[in-house]
Chains A and B, each alone.
Chain A
Amino acid sequence: MNTQSNAMSEAFESQRAIPGVMAATRPLYWSVRRELWENRSLYIAPLAVAAVILFGFLINTIGLPHRLLDLWGLDPAEQRKHVALPYDMAAGLMMLTGMIVGAFYCLDALYGERRDRSILFWKSLPVSDLTAVLSKATIPLVILPAIIFSVTMATQWIMLMLNSAVFLAKGMSVVGLWSQVAFFQSSLLLLYHLYAVHALWHAPLYGWMLFVSSWARRAAILWATLPVIAIAALEKILFNTTHFVGFLGYRLAGGGEDAMTAPGNMPIDPTTHLTPLRFLGTPGLWMGLLFTGLCLLAAVRLRRSRGPI
């Protein structure tokens, strides 16, 4: 009697707790955390690259004031090239790291759980396949850009401190350095670039890789790349054209020119050079997002029916 009423009130409690926003977002939140627990390379790889960059920068920066003295007579654009170039290179390297980490993550995300049979454990919990796939898509589209942004910012900040220390030690003013590096402007720029280009514009690449990882029975990386190479080769042999390669190149390297205007003179001013409206008006962006959606939907369906391999 007592246990029965207990059970009933418990059932009532959980019934009340289940519906609503919590039911939708809690499993997603925990699934994203779970991805970060499993894939520590998502933040370890960028941190490792940052450490290498800082080491190289430290070696390089010791000789910098000396070289700058030689350049003092040159125009500011030329000076800037020498002072700010390492900062831009650091950001570029971090973004490249992000793309590589994201690609490897996506190719393993829905394949690894089937290979190690842990999918049977995940499926024994009340988390839908849609939530599972969305949590995995969240990593390259939301989390990874944030990680790359934070690590890049921290790296550049440490670089600036090192730079300033060397300058001050040599008795040089840091005002020019700080204005040329334009730390806060470039951070805004980086954040925008990461989400516009590396998340939204590259989304179909990640969507494709997630789809392949949900489908492949082995060697997901080959299934993701070989058909692409085959199509390009076939097009070249049959029609002697390279439209597909051009199309892929546009997807990989394009997008940036629509997201902002790159002026000849640096630094880019985020208040005038960002063109989000033009970016949002690019048909390629929306076609890409549509393709991403289709890939993710297919991945959801495949995850439901595919068991361990």
Chain B
Amino acid sequence: MPCIEARGLRKAFGTTIALDGINLRLEEGRILGLIGPNGAGKTTALNAILGLTPYQGELRVLGRDPWNERDLLMRDASFIADVAVLPRWMRVSQALDYVAGVHPRFDRAKADSFLARTSIHSNSKVKELSKGMVTQLHLALIMAIDAKLLVLDEPTLGLDILYRKQFYDSLLNDYFDRSRTIVVTTHQVEEIEHVLTDLMFIHHGRIVLNCTMDEFESRYVEVTVKPEHLAEARALKPIHERQALGRSILLFDGIERQRLAALGDVRTPSIADLFVAVMGSSAVPAQGAA
């Protein structure tokens, strides 16, 4: 059973189409990065997956219909919307008590041991904690839940780099194992690059790129072309070209690495480079679509 399966997922707000017929299949044990510009439909897609918004089309998450079975789904799925949703009046101990009370898969000892490594006191109120500490608390709550699916929507928004790094380190080292599935959206693409197993670009409510990271590494090549080879390189139809320090950097899709090595310095592009290439050139929106 796939963890998430969507067919023709559509959602419109009035005349604005947020999701325009998305097809998606995510197996368990994957870490999917959902990347897109603001307003691309990322959050709408996640909300549909979490049963927070109604939709048209077919969608099964862990075999359930999220819109009609949200409470059942949440026994096996959990999410962090963004850093600001923990109620400010709540004490840390109350948050632990409450989640332990309502969640059959919550391991209180695990949450306590995670919090013991931070400077968070169990008697503090959420509003007394710094933004980074609130995120640590939320992460402690989520990581102590034995969930099959974890959805993170901009989980590190507004955090400084130390907390951001710590967040993903904790997630990978203490939480992720091969049986769990994680879906994450973020604007700080470079920070999750090495974490992902799957990559998806979404733009104007459509999926414009969907591949595994292995495919990504073998398909896309970035070449800093020597000036004398520029015409030759352009003839190979790069999907994007940019200038840096007076050199032309061309991005190719599906051209052999050895062939390109003759034209200049070859490297695998970063996700951000590919993102700019795919999003920036609206003339080729479906270039990378799998």
A-to-B contact residues, CB < 8 Å:
3, 7, 10, 14, 17-18, 23, 26-27, 29-31, 33-34, 37-38, 113, 116-121, 123-129, 131, 304-305, 307-308
Task: Check A30/B104 contact, CB under 8 A, given A38-B87, A121-B85.
Answer: no
In the complex, what's the smallest C-beta–C-beta distance from A123 to chain B, in angstroms? 6
Chain A proximity mask over B224-257: 1 for CB below 8 Å, otherwise 0 = 0000000000000000000000000000000000
Q: Which residue of B lies closest to A304 (CB)?
A: B70
List the A residue with the shortest CB-CB distance to B142: A124
Q: In the complex, what residues of A have CB within 8 A of residue B133's CB?
A: none
How far does the alpha carbon of A143 sit from the alpha carbon of B54 in the complex, in Å? 34
Q: Are A305 and B54 in touch, CB under 8 angstroms?
A: yes
Chain B 121-137, CB-CB to A under 8 Å as 1, else 0, gives 00000000000000000
Q: Is B102 an interface residue (CB 8 A)?
A: yes
Instruction: Tell me which residues across on chain A come within 8 A of B104, comparing CB atoms.
Output: 14, 17-18, 23, 126
Contacts of A30 in B (CB 8 A): 97-98, 101-102
Cα–Cα, bound, A117→B47 (Å): 14
In the complex, identify which listed stretch (B75-83, B198-206, B208-216) lies at the interface while the others stay far away. Answer: B75-83
Most buried by A among B52, B75, B97, B146: B52
Are A120 and B85 in touch, CB under 8 angstroms?
yes
Select B71's contact among A29, A128, A305, beta carbons within 8 Å.
Answer: A128
How far, in angstroms, from A116 to B85 measured CA to CA in the complex? Answer: 7
Chain A neighbourhood of B94, CB < 8 A: 34, 37
- From residue A302, how far is it (CB to closest CB) to chain B in Å? 13
B53 touches A126 (CB 8 A): no
Measured CB to CB, the closest approach of chain A to B255, in angstroms, equals 42
- Inter-subunit contact B101/A123 (CB<8 Å): no
Count chain B CB atoms within 10 A of each CB in A3, A113, A125, A308 and give the residue with the most. A125
Number of interface residues of B (CB under 8 A): 36
A117 touches B102 (CB 8 A): no
Instruction: A50 to B170: give the CA distance in the assembly, Å.
Output: 50
B99: interface (CB < 8 Å)? yes
CB distance from A210 to the nearest CB of B (A): 19
- 27 pairs of residues in contact across A and B, judged by CB atoms under 8 Å: A10-B146, A17-B104, A26-B101, A26-B102, A29-B101, A30-B101, A33-B98, A33-B101, A38-B89, A117-B85, A118-B87, A118-B88, A121-B138, A123-B50, A123-B51, A123-B70, A124-B50, A124-B79, A124-B80, A125-B102, A126-B75, A127-B74, A128-B70, A128-B71, A305-B54, A307-B52, A307-B53
Q: How many whole Å from B18's CB to the nearest CB in chain A?
A: 13
Contact status B88-A125, CB under 8 Å = no
Q: Are B52 and A121 in contact (CB under 8 A)?
A: no
Shortest distance between the CB of A297 and any CB in chain B (Å): 16
Q: Which of A17, A123, A127 neighbours the largest number of chain B CB atoms within 10 Å of its CB?
A: A123
Please tell me if B172 contacts chain A, counting CB pairs below 8 Å.
Answer: no
A22 to B, closest residue via Cβ? B104
A27 and B91 alpha carbons, distance in the complex (Å): 19
